[in-house]
Structures are given as structure tokens and as C-alpha cells.
Structure 1
Amino acid sequence: MAVQTPDSGCSRHGGLEFVFVCKTCDNELICLDCVLDFHNKHDLVKLMEHASDQKHKMQQYTEKLSKSDIPKLESEILENGKSWTKTSKELMEMNNDITRHGDQMKKEIDKISDRLVALCKNLEQMNRETKEKNKSVLTDFLRGKLRQQDRCQQALTSDISTKAIEVAKEIRNTEPITSPTPIARKSAVFEPGTVSNVLLNQMFGKVLVDGESVSFQQSPPCIVISSFLASFPYDACHTCRSGDEAWLSYWDAEQIYRVDQTGSILEKIECRVNVNSIAISPKTGRVWFSVKEDKSIREVMSDSTVVTRFNVKYVPRTLGITLGSWLWWGWGMRE
């Protein structure tokens, strides 16, 4: 540590000249009177010796900076620039590779889609041709039946007895009795496959950062913000909207408690019935709870009064409230 001597001298003893440096008192500058008054038996060194020693150390430090530290830092800065340039180029190439690979996958998907669309168009054409064939066959059959009808009418109105016999024989020998069966159309149904993000990611590939994949990062571990031992039993805990408070309840107790992160009780509600389950409304912040005895769902109002909202058919075991203020409950067995 370098020593700089103030021009005013010792402030305690009328500006007397500094003579020593007290090592015990963090290299404080002192005069001769200070040695007797405040620094008796302290570790002292002469001012000039201490200054000379500090200059020597500074000279060594300066030489070290010029010969080692500064060239090393300059080299590291240069290497850092080269490394950044190389990394930037690699990232640009990787970006182009990802884009190119994505375009290739899109093309393959488009090929599959185009092939299926073409199949649908072929089926449409086949069904159109089938419709025309069926129409032609049925139309011809209809015309034959109309001719038969005309021949029958002629025979019925004719005075010639043999006419009816002749027409009946003609019909039997020349026309089918039953109508032709139409050709069935091709029926098709598209069954879309399941879109799996896992399979898509595996097909697409992954990015390795420092040798580790970042494509399938796990969720960060939970962090315990606070922990405490409550002064009462509880088996349900629901965090308030503020995030720094919670409501606690116990299935065999008639009270519910609002506590802070240290477990200190901020509010106690006397429900006068055993609380089976609780839930917090994300919109109003008020507490709802279920009661086993009368199968009721109740709400705690802002003034701590309890209001029964409705009763359900079965014992409500669980309770919850959605962001849309819909309340749901579940039951385990009918009682």
C-alpha cells in the first residue's frame, strides 16, 4: 500500500510532522506524540522505510503488468474477438442448415400431402365415371320398361286374342325381369395421424450447446421460498393471489387460517363446521370450502362471514375454482 503524506501534518498534535506508520492501525500515519498517546506498543515502522518498501512493491507490480498481465489481457481480447467471429460464422451456418433442413421437411410433407390429394382426385374421377355408367345402364333399362309398357297397352286394347300371347312371349325372351345393379362408388375416409412433437423434434434434429441438447430441456427444479412449522395441524394449503400468503385447513377442524411465509397467523375464520376441502377464487381472492355433514359448498365473504351457496348430491371431497370463476368439485364415494 502506498503512503501519501498530507501537507498539513498530524491533525491531533498541531500539524507535527509524520514520522511513523502504524501497521496495527492499517498503516495510519502518526507523529512522535501519537506514539505515546494512542499507538503505544503498536507495530510501528519508519515512514521513509515504509514508503521505500511500497515503491519497491509498486515497481515490481508495474513490471509484472507490462511483462505479463497486460500482454496476456491484450492477447485474450484478440483471441476473444477471433473466437466471437468464428462462433458468429458457425451460428450463421447453423441457422442456414436449420432453415434448409426445415424446408426439406416441408417439401417431404408437401409431397405426401400432394400424393394424398391426387388420390382423392382420382377417386373423384372414378366415382364420376361410375355415376355416368350407372346412369346410362339404368336409363337404357328404363327405356326398355317403357317399351314393354307400351306393348302391353297395345295388347290389352287389341281385339286380336293372339296379340297378348305374342307380346308376353316377346317380353320374356328379350328383356331382363330385374333391374341392373348399379356399380358401387368408391368410398374413402381420411384418418389423420397423431401429430407428435416428440417425433417431429427427433426427425428434425437438435441443437447442442457445449455438448448438451437444449431441445429437450427439463423444467428447472423447484426452489423453496420459505418453510415453517405451523402451530396447528393442516392437510390443505392454497396460495393467495398475492403469492406471499396462504390459507390452511384441516379435515377435522372448524377453523381455517391465513398465514404469511413465516407461518404467522394473519387471520382465523371460525366456520363452526368441519372443513372438508378449500379453494381460493383467482378473481375475488375469497375462500370457498366444502362441508361433509350437509354436503354444502360455502364461501367466506370479505367481512369473514360464511355464506352457504348450495348443496350437492354427494360428499364433496375436492374443490377448485377456474380463472373463469367456474367452481368444480369431486367426490370419491357415494354416501
Structure 2
Amino acid sequence: MASKLGRSIIKAQRPIRPKGQVKCEIHKQNEIVLLCQDCKMLIYTKCSITLHKEHINSFLEISDIKTRHNKILQDFVNETENVNIPKLNQEIISSRTKKTSCKPMYDKRRKNIIDNTEKCKLELDKITEDYIALCDKMELAAMDLIQTHITDLESRLKTLRELSSEYKQTLQTGTSVLVYDSVSEIREMDPDIPPTPNIDMTQFTPGIDRLSHLKQAIGNLKFTTDHLQAGSATSGHSDQRPVVRPKQSTETGQASTGEVRYKLRDRPTVMSQFPYTDTISTDCPTSDGRAWMCNWYTDTVNLIDNQGQVIQTIRHRSNIQDISLDPTTGRLWFCCSSDKTICEVSTSHKPVTRFTTWDESLSLCVTREGRVVVGTRGYRQVVMYTVDGQVLHTDIVEGGVRSISQCGVTGNITVVVDYEHIIVYNSTLQLLFNYQREGIQARGEWIQVQRSFILDQISYLTVVYDSKGNIVIADRTRSTIELISGAGKYIKTLHTNKGLQGVVGIQKGDVLWSYLKLDTGEGGLKLLKYYSD
């Protein structure tokens, strides 16, 4: 007899007659001869004119259906023995094999983590050793420098004492010629005492946000917990979600200080270009070479391929102000200014409201830590929320926040305020620095232009970080795409467009999606590659 667990594949039903019983349940001395198809019951002849008389058109003699049912049984037996049982056996074997490989797999993973941690420790020890050696070297240089200064002062002191004694004698007994010569000598002297040299030739600034940088250095540990958390929220987010950090650039240097070594192309290579008639206020490229396009005057968001073909459309009940992709799950988020809602598109492609804001939202960015950063209109703030709407951090700014982006290398967050200036925060909205266009005067081309004109004409549309930790800026006024380091140092004008320059987005592999006016005069997109491989 099958166990209770084994019987779980048979649908529960209310037994009317024991299986295989040939006697009628009502007329227990008589054998069943008919099938009432309406009731799906086997009955005796008298039942057909009493309890089942309304179903007379559905009656079949039991002997007539045996052949057909025999075939159903035979098909089941054949499929069970030839397909289902072998499949189950194979799945059991496969699962047992997988179970056997589980411990070695995780042992290897643990060993990799430990080995990489040891390497990080060795590298930290080497960096510390180099820093200490440099301090020792600079200490000796500083001591030599100050000793040279002391020797020079002592020589000056000796000379002054000798001259003072000599000039006293000249005053008493010297001739007119000697007095003249002595005064001439005094006039040629350097009366200034040289300043003490600066011996503080090194500076050490302790790193901030050390924990996140150390985790990033050790490596990424990605894991999914959906199948382990029964009854979890539909959004798949929680405050305990794993922090999945992008891989650090393999280029030599530190992206956080703009010192990563990389090679820029003389001019960007156009990977693809195509017309796109709809206005775009935000574009969010996906990791698989497509992009979500948003127009803040409409209630729709389109997913297009790299030739401009619309693959999918998400529609909402109110206009969608801005969009962002969760860097961990890849899901689309958006904000609606009119009803102050923050929404996520679920796996069924339906928008779900995650929380509401107390002020109208202009922009948003979902961070790698699972936070939602929102720029507001009325109170002019940058606000960091949890995915269920709890406020974590805020900062007041001098205008509406038009664009927000997070660096995949440092975790820093950059915002555009009223198209005029750019603010860079750390991952908890602590101000790091402001960037305005006068910061790129080093190129020389702005020196002859009045500063007031520059500031009046600034129109930064969007900012996005690339994989090197550099910031790409779309400048509508000059129709250019600018590149600055993560520390705010101007690097290069990547592209100058003949017409309109719109928003930009970054695809994996540093492919830049730029919305602009094509050479044909119509609006469209160019996919640009600006780093050399």
C-alpha cells in the first residue's frame, strides 16, 4: 500500500464505493452495470430510474467502456514504467550525486575565500611596509634638509659676528676709503634670514568606509535565498540581503582617487546608431545589451534592443518621472511625481508600489546595498530609503535633483542639482565635494569667457559612473559628453555633437548609450565605446 507521502500525487476525493467493489452502493445485492457520466458514478439499473433519472442521456454500459479504459490504464502503465519511473530514478541519482558534491564544492569555496583573504593580508602588509619605508626615507631627507638650514644659519651668524667686530674697528680707526668699502659691502649683503624649510613632506589620510573596500578587495560572494525563505516579500528585498559588489577594475591604481590607469580612444567608436522618435529623459541599459527608455511626460517605459526595436512596454496609472535598475536583481524601479510613489516591476512585469514619499520625486537610484535614493522637488532634498520606505539619510540641496548615479567601484553617489552643479556623496550621503564647470578651466578654452556666463549656461542633464569609477556627464548647453574622475578632476571631452545632446546611460563593458541628434537631423541613439580594450 502506498504511503501517505507517496499518495500525495493522487487528488483527494470523497470515496463513494470501495475501489474494485462490484456491488451497487444503494442496491447492495446487485452488481453495477451502468456509468452515470454526469455524476461519474457506477450504478445499478434501478438507480437509473430513481436517483439518476434526470441523467438518462449520460448513461453508458460498464462493459462498453472497459476497452477504452483499458487503453488509458495501459498508456499510464507504459508511460510510468518507460518514462516517469526512469526519470524519477535518474533525478534521485542526480540529486544524490549533487549532494555528494556539495561538501567539496563549499570546501573549495571556503578555501578560495581564505586564500584570497591571506593574499589581501600579505598585500596590506606589503603596502604597510612600503609606507613605513617611505616615511623612513622622508624622515632622513627632512633631517638632512633642516641640518643644512641650521649649518647655513650658523655660518651666517659667524659671518655677522666677524663683520660686526670688524666694522666697530673701522668706525674707530678706519680711513674714509675703508668706511666707503665697508658700506658698499653692507649694501650687497642679503639681510633676510632664510625661512625654516617645511619638513612635513608626507601626508597620511586614513581610508573611509574601510569595511566596504575590504569586502570588495576580498571578492564577491553571491548567493540566492529565495528558496530558503518561505513567505518572503514579493520584492525579494530585505535589510539582510547580501551586498553584491561589482568587481574592482583590474587596471592599476585607485579608481576612488581618479588614478586608475586606462587608455582612452582618440575619439569614441560608434558601435551602433539608430533613430528613436520618442523623447527620452532617462535611459537605463541592461547587462544583456538592451535598454529601458523613460519619457517623464508619459505613463510608459519601453525596453528596446540595440537597434531601437521595442521589445516590451510597461504601463502605469500615472506619469513615470524617472527609472533605475537594481544592480543586484536587475529589476526595474521607477518614481511617479504626481502620486509620490516608488514602484518596482515584479517578475510578472507588473508595477508594484513599494512605498510613498512625502514630497514629489524627480529622480531615483537603486544602490548596490539595496537602498533607494530619491531626489525631491519641493523640499529640495536627497533622501535615502530602505526598500520598504524607511528614511535612512537626508541632505538638503539648492534645487531640484535631476539625476542620480552610484559608483560601482567606491559606492559614492553623484547627483545633478538644477542642471547647474554636481554633488558627490559617499554611500551614506556624507558630502565629499561639489563640481561645477569652472573646474574644467584648465583646458584653457574657458579662460576668456566670463564666469557669470559659464554658470548661467550650464545644463548638466545626467551623470553616470563607468566601470573605472569615472563620471560621464551629458552637457546639453555645449552638446558634449564630458569625462571627469571620481575625485572631480577633468579628464576629457569624449564627444561633441553637432546638434542636440540628450541623456546618457552606461551598459556593462562601458558602452555608452547616448541620446542625441543624428547626422540625419532626427533624434536617435548612438552606442559609443571610449576606452581601448
Q: Which has the higher contact order (CA 8 A, sep 6+)?
A: 2
Structure with greater strand share of residues: 2
TM-score range, shorter chain: 0.3 to 0.5
Structure 1 or 2: larger helix share? 1
- Asked which structure has the greater CA Rg, the reply is 1
